[in-house]
Each structure stands twice: as C-alpha cells, then as structure tokens.
C-alpha cells in the first residue's frame, strides 16, 4: 500500500517494532502490554505516530495535550507532500545532485557517477588522497557508507574508478574535523543535524558516533543530543535508539550536556544561506560537519527524522508547523 508516495510497512512489521520497544522499556515501569498496544493504536489513529515516535517521545507518559505538541511521522509525510516539490526532493535525495547544488558550502573534493566521473578525475583524486569515504548514491540512514584505503585497493589490482562504478558509489575526501569535535569522538565525523522550515531553524541536534563506528548515524548505534539553537550548546543528555541515556560519552568520557559546538554562528549563517539555494524544499534537515576550516554541508535530507531533535529532551516542535500552516 502507498501513502503519499511512501510504502506503508506491513502490520507484522509494526507489531514486531512495537514489541521490540516494549521490551526496551525499564522493567520497574511495568506498564501492561495490552494497554501499550491499545494506546499505540489510538495514538496512531489520532496523531499518526509511528512505533519509534510513540516510544522515543514517551507517548505512554503523555495525554492528548502533550501528544499534540509533537511532530509525528504522519504530519511530516503530509507536510513533505504538500510543501516539498518532487524536483527539489530528487535533488536532495541524490547525493551527487545535492553536492552540485550546494557547491559553495562544500569544501572537499569528490568524484561521482554523473558528475566528475571521468577516469582522469578519479586518477587525480587517487594521487592526492590515501584514504577516502565512499557512499552509495541513493541510500539513507548511513547504510553502506565506509572508508576505503586506496593503496589497499591497488594491491587488489583494482582502481577506485572500477570500485565506485561497480557499487554505484561516489567517493569523497575525508573531512578533517575541528579539534573540539574530536574531543567528543575522533573516529567519525560528528555531524550536527539542523532542521529548517523555509530557512528558519526549528531545532538542532548533535550526532555522535560510538563504539569504533565510522559513521554517526543513530541507525548504526550512534547517540544524539539536543542543541540549543541560539547558542549551540548541548542542553540534554545523549540518547540512542535503544532509549538509553548517556551523560558522558561511553568511549571518550567527554561530558555531553554543556558541550559547546564551535563556530555556531557560522553554522546558522550557512544553513540560512544554503536554504535560499533550494526554495523548492520547505522542510530540510541539514547535516553539518565542523571541519578544521569551518562548517560544511555533509548531506541534505528532505524529510528529516524529527526524533533527533524532539526525543532527547522530549520537547515537541509541532507549533512551528502550525505557524507555517
């Protein structure tokens, strides 16, 4: 079944997800499973929340007034359908097109399948860099993103060009991260997710990798914490999709609440300017990395996961949608 262009998950899948989350709830809570199932179905019908929305926002703790304050999956899809045009969505979905569109805000080299795709350009790239990050062009949630060692590839008698062509990937220079962000976790780029509606920032979150992971995506076990959108200071504990909360980073032991993101005013400026480049998309989630030379865009999302900015402090942002109509 299709719902405004999106595949609806099967009932069985939803049931499994709800069951998974129920098992993650702390045992001493002992909320009855039947009640949770009933309340989930009710909330789904009334507010359009998915299983993740329901449990990450703590809908079982809220009454109707509390639930109304959150932006759920259904409202996100509907808003996306109404305000984001398909052409704009295609631009941000395709990582290559996005890199071209936002070229002024990207300070790294890359080679793709459609653009910068000649063998010569790949060769030049290989000469300059020893390691690079490859990304599948259409994938979401950080799946398939990994670092390749170019000299190791050569030993296997394979050029970077062949490797990327086979796997339909684009290759990017690895971003050198700001020293302060390295203090948090040095093994991946810790990006900042800023969500904007027509260029206004409605919320931000800091995503941090954990456990030796090369990416910071929450789907890959990363943790995320809410950021004050005016000052760029982390104002909540970090949490992960398993609903565990962290006051210190589990690997580096850096204190997470109170962590100040460097060059925050530049981030806000960048987001504001960049959203002028893509007026076709109203609701955008920007993944910003703080590189050694200043903020830069890593990725753009047309239908950003609102759990990143709403869940850590359980602070809903629906009023923004109401304002914008």
Angle at 205 between CA 148 and CA 324, to 5 degrees: 120
Helix (H) or strand (E) holding 289: strand 283-291
Under 8 Å between Cβ of 236 and 225: yes
- Please pick, from the candidates 14, 100, 233, 321, the single residue that binds another protein as defined by CB under 8 A: 233
State how far the Cα of 296 lies from the Cα of 55, in Å rounded to an integer. Answer: 33
Q: C-alpha 255: how far from its chain's center?
A: 22
Nearer to another protein, 79 or 259 (CB): 259
Give the three-class secondary structure for 57.
Answer: coil
Residue that the structure tokens 């590839």 belong to: 153
Tokens of 216: 């910071």
Nearer to another protein, 74 or 237 (CB): 237
Angle at 57 between CA 220 and CA 245, to 5 degrees: 55
* 310: contact with another protein by CB under 8 A: no
Total number of residues that touch another protein (CB under 8 A): 28
Least distance from another protein to the Cβ atom of residue 190, Å: 16
Q: Which of residues 244-263 bind another protein (CB under 8 A)?
A: 247-248, 255-260
Binding-residue pattern over the window 64 to 103 for another protein, x denoting contact by CB under 8 A: -xx--x----------------------------------
Tokens of 65: 């007034």
Binding-residue pattern over the window 189 to 228 for another protein, x denoting contact by CB under 8 A: ---------------------------------------x
Nearer to another protein, 57 or 286 (CB): 57
* Binding region for another protein (CB under 8 A): 28-29, 31, 58, 60-63, 65-66, 69, 228, 231, 233-237, 247-248, 255-260, 313-314
């Amino acid at each position: 079944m299709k719902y405004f262009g999106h595949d609806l998950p099967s009932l069985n899948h939803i049931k499994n997800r709800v069951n998974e989350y129920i098992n993650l709830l702390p045992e001493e809570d002992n909320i009855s499973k039947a009640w949770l199932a009933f309340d989930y179905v009710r909330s789904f019908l009334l507010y359009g929340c998915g299983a993740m929305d329901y449990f990450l926002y703590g809908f079982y703790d809220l009454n109707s007034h509390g639930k109304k304050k959150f932006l759920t999956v259904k409202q996100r899809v509907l808003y996306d359908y109404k305000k984001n045009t398909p052409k704009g969505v295609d631009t941000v979905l395709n990582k290559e097109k996005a890199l071209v569109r936002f070229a002024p805000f990207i300070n790294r080299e890359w080679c793709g399948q459609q653009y910068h795709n000649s063998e010569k350009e790949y060769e030049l790239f290989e000469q300059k860099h020893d390691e690079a990050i490859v990304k599948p062009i259409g994938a979401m949630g950080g799946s398939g993103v990994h670092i390749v060692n170019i000299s190791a590839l050569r030993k296997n008698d394979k050029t970077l060009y062949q490797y990327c062509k086979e796997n339909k990937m684009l290759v990017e220079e690895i971003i050198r991260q700001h020293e302060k962000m390295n203090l948090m976790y040095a093994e991946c780029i810790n990006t900042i997710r800023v969500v904007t509606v027509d260029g206004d920032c409605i919320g931000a979150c800091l995503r941090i990798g954990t456990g030796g992971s090369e990416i910071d995506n929450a789907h890959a076990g990363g943790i995320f914490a809410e950021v004050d959108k005016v000052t760029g200071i982390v104002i909540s504990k970090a949490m992960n999709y398993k609903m565990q909360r962290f006051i210190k980073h589990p690997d580096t032991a850096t204190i997470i609440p109170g962590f100040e993101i460097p060059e925050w005013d530049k981030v806000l400026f960048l987001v504001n300017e960049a959203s002028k480049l893509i007026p076709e998309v109203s609701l955008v989630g920007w993944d910003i990395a703080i590189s050694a030379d200043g903020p830069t865009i890593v990725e753009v999302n047309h239908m950003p996961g609102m759990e990143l900015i709403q869940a850590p402090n359980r602070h809903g942002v629906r009023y923004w949608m109401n304002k914008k109509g």
